[in-house]
Amino acid sequence: MDTTKTRATTLTPQRLAQFALRQLLPALLAVAAAFFARYQLELSDGVTPAYLAAQWPVFAPLNALTAFCLTLVLFALLGKWSRATGIAGAVFTVLSIVNYYTRDLHGTALMPQDVLNIGTAAEVMGSYTLKITATVVNLVVLYLPVLFIAWVQAMLVKPRKSGLPNQNQKAPQPEQPENAPQTTAARWRRRAVRWAGCAAGVAAILFFGYFSPWPLKPAATYGWAWQETYYKYGYLAGTIESASLLQNPIVMPDGYTDAAAAEAAATAADYTPAAPTVAEQQYPDIVLILSESFYDPSLVTDLQTDIPFMEVTKNLPNSIYGHTVSPHVGGGTNSSEYEMLTANSLMLMPSITPFNWLNLYKANSLVSHLESLGYATMAAHPYTNSNYRRDSAWLALGFDETHFEEDFPTAETYGNRPYQTDSATYRDLTTLYEAMPADKPRFTFLVSIQSHGDYDMNDPSEDLVHAGADYGVYDGEVDEFLSCMYLSDQAVAELTAYYTNLYETTGRKVVVCLAGDHAPSFIDHIADASIPENERQILERSTPYFIWANYPLENAGSTNQADPLNRMDLCHLGPTLLAQAGLPLSGYYNYLLQMKQTVPLHTAANDYMAADGTTHCYGEDAAADALVRGYFALEYNNIGTHAKQNQSLFAPLTNDD
């Protein structure tokens, strides 16, 4: 009888106690450490206490167990709970810090799609001074209990001088060499059992948590705001859903059919544009500018500045002034750029950076629309062409020519800020504009760079504008940002003067449209907390825009009497610009313009905003619901993977139509 084998396989109370102490308890401690990781990630996301409390009793444990999956993978590879817990804790600490800065500077959580945007992100982050805030300190401090847990785990399995051998002690070597292969096989059996157990644990957590027919977290929760998913269900749960969308990032609206898109377009067949359509020989040139961080902080705080900083823009004669609502706060230029150029809402693409993920080849856009009307087209940006794959994306959209930093030779910056001023950018842009074909109407698109963050690059003595209100540690940033806005405002005067002179000397008509891409990254830190959260969120996304012409503009000075801020969704800006220029529209654009009269904002706060500035949830107004759902049906027919596109809905309408 093999007494050694008998001793090894007999379950005694002592062996059960040893198993609980050296195997089960370390595993339970690893789960406890995962709860710290879960809290780090929620803290880095800025989750409010109310949302944190609401994550219990289901989603807080689910997120912790999701974090525990990484520990299981590491334990399978390393065979030691202490190492697996310590390394997993370090990974989640770093991830939480990166997520904190991403959210603070970019306006959204760190998401899986950001991997493709890592080059741009690195360049952007390089321009910021990362502040070591109390939150960052807390994220690091929360790693200390994880390290303590890892130490306890190591002590629990530490070899002892007496008693039964633990899992890390080597078994006595047999005297007979022929028994050696059996020992090696036993080791591999133990590894196989460990790997299988860890794999089963990971699979069970992911299956029951996310991928079963009855998951703990609903499969599709993304709406307009990323917070609705990340705050309600937790960072890791939101990230898993975000990752699942990457395979097919365009969400099909509920109840979508191709017929629904055509029916929606038909409801706007009789829409009458705000300005009469002009003859082809009278098509004006179009200059469209996405202005970096062009924003008016007085929307959310009483600045009490010593001098006006947007006097030109707000009082520009022969213009329409208002605010477009951008898809993000504090970052996401490419998202605003995509909505501006295509009129497609990112509400159907909640987890992507558009230029990095979408196939833009021959996509319907302002570019394709104007080119079909005979326009020559140009896109320009006074910075690198690698950001957001702009060069290839612009060419895919159909721009005839693209220009980047090497084509902006005027080396003019503001103080120590490394970005070309708007004044210099506009001077270089007009040179490029003049080189475009003279026998065609021209469409020029510019993404500026002057006011890019961070806003602590200059000495305070170089500030041109000063806020009287006390913003604590953000005082310097506010003053430098306001100074940038002042320079942008003055540059608008220079640009409009150039085109005014062009009309007076040559008779060439030009319509200029400028809109901000997003607010500065610090805006939420200085916003008046007494403003209701719903309203404040929209205001933080409301960037100024104007439409100006160097010839008499049909609707100059018009505004929305019910909404003093004259707000509209950024997706509405392109169709509005074309309508004011008197250009032929498409069925898609007609629908958006008709919809804007009742629902001017469909991608903000509680699903949509009415013309009087009030926000509403779906189900409160059947007519408004139908307008919004009709728009999403049209958008999905335009870009959806499972739609049969009806191109007639997106091409310019002729008199015969």
How confident is the model at residue 42, as a pLDDT? Answer: 95
Task: Indicate whether 405 pLDDT > 50.
Answer: yes
Mean pLDDT, range 305-311, rounded to an integer: 97
Residue 163 lies in a domain: no
The highest-confidence range among 364-378, 522-536, 562-576, by mean pLDDT, is 364-378
The residue with tokens 């500045």 is 305
Tell me how far CA of residue 206 lies from CA of 89, 425, 476, 514, in angstroms. Answer: 20, 51, 46, 46
How confident is the model at residue 641, as a pLDDT? Answer: 87
Task: Indicate whether 550 pLDDT > 50.
Answer: yes
| Cβ-defined contacts of 187-192 (< 8 Å, 24+) | 191/79
- In a shared domain, residues 493 and 568: yes
Instruction: Tell me whether strands 615-616 and 285-291 are parallel, antiparallel or unpaired.
Output: unpaired
355 — pLDDT class (breaks 50, 70, 90):
confident
Mean pLDDT, range 425-441, rounded to an integer: 97
How confident is the model at residue 280, as a pLDDT? Answer: 93
CATH number at residue 465: 3.40.720.10
Mean pLDDT, range 581-603, rounded to an integer: 93
Please report how the helices 143-156 and 25-44 are oriented relative to each other, as an axis angle in degrees rounded to 10: 170
- DSSP secondary structure code for residue 156 in this structure: H
- In a shared domain, residues 485 and 576: yes
Cα distance between residue 389 and residue 118, in whole Å: 11
- In a shared domain, residues 320 and 466: yes
Q: Residue 402, Cβ neighbours under 10 Å: how many? A: 20
Task: Indicate whether 68 pLDDT > 90.
Answer: yes
- In a shared domain, residues 430 and 557: yes
Q: How far is CA 624 from the centre of its chain?
A: 26
Token pair belonging to 79: 């065979």
180 — pLDDT class (breaks 50, 70, 90):
very low
- In a shared domain, residues 110 and 228: yes
Task: Indicate whether 10 pLDDT > 50.
Answer: yes
226 — pLDDT class (breaks 50, 70, 90):
low
Picking from 592, 612, 634, the residue at the C-terminal end of a domain is 592
- pLDDT tens profile 144-165: 999 999 999 999 988 765 444 4
Residue 250 lies in a domain: no
3-class secondary-structure state, position 287:
strand
**What residues have CB less than 8 Å from 51, skipping those under 6 apart?**
231, 232
Q: How far is CA 128 from the centre of its chain?
A: 18
How confident is the model at residue 121, as a pLDDT? Answer: 59
Cα distance between residue 566 and residue 296, in whole Å: 14
- pLDDT tens profile 618-653: 788 888 889 999 999 999 999 998 999 999 999 998
Residue 170 lies in a domain: no
- In a shared domain, residues 409 and 532: yes
How confident is the model at residue 177, as a pLDDT? Answer: 45
Q: What percent of the chain has pLDDT over 90?
A: 65
How confident is the model at residue 562, as a pLDDT? Answer: 84
- In a shared domain, residues 27 and 94: yes
Task: Indicate whether 339 pLDDT > 80.
Answer: yes
Task: Indicate whether 570 pLDDT > 90.
Answer: yes
The residue with tokens 């002009």 is 278
Cα distance between residue 582 and residue 192, in whole Å: 72
Specify the higher pLDDT residue, 119 or 645.
Answer: 645
How confident is the model at residue 1, as a pLDDT? Answer: 40
* Nearest C-alpha neighbor of 281 from the set 556, 548, 509, 435: 509
Specify the higher pLDDT residue, 485 or 6.
Answer: 485
Mean pLDDT, range 467-484, rounded to an integer: 96
How many independent structural domains does the chain possess?
A: 2
Structural domain boundaries, residue 208: 9-158+181-245
Residue 480 lies in a domain: yes
- In a shared domain, residues 345 and 196: no
Residue 404 lies in a domain: yes
**What residues have CB less than 8 Å from 441, skipping those under 6 apart?**
283, 284, 285, 286, 370, 373, 374, 375, 376
Residue 627 lies in a domain: no
Picking from 541, 574, 592, the residue at the C-terminal end of a domain is 592
Token pair belonging to 577: 């610009």
Cα distance between residue 303 and residue 474, in whole Å: 12
Residue 630 lies in a domain: no
